[in-house]
Amino acid sequence: MALSPDPLSNTVRWLAAHARVPASRLAPKAETLVCLAAIAAAEEAAALAGTRHLIKSKDGAKESAARTYAYRRSKVHYVCDNSAKV
């Protein structure tokens, strides 16, 4: 069974399958706890939905510094000549 993206409908489906709701009920405190957890999960999913597709902006200064660093490193290399006779 595929889970829907909505945590509240997943909770209702779970209660129907495992706790046989509405034929029988859980203890009131247990039902309250399960419902509060579902609401918290729904709020968290809603908060993440807004940030999931954000495009991260580029840090131009950081990229420029990395390019400059790589360029300067490429210019530093020198050839060591060990052919000097003693």
CA dihedral 16, 22, 25, 26 (to 10 degrees): 30
Predicted confidence (pLDDT) per residue in 25-84, tens digit? 888 898 888 888 888 888 887 777 766 555 667 888 999 999 999 888 887 766 666 766
Tokens for 84?
Answer: 């000097």
**Angstrom distance (rounded) from CA 51 to CA 1:** 27
Predicted pLDDT of residue 15: 82
Q: What is the pTM of this model?
A: 0.47
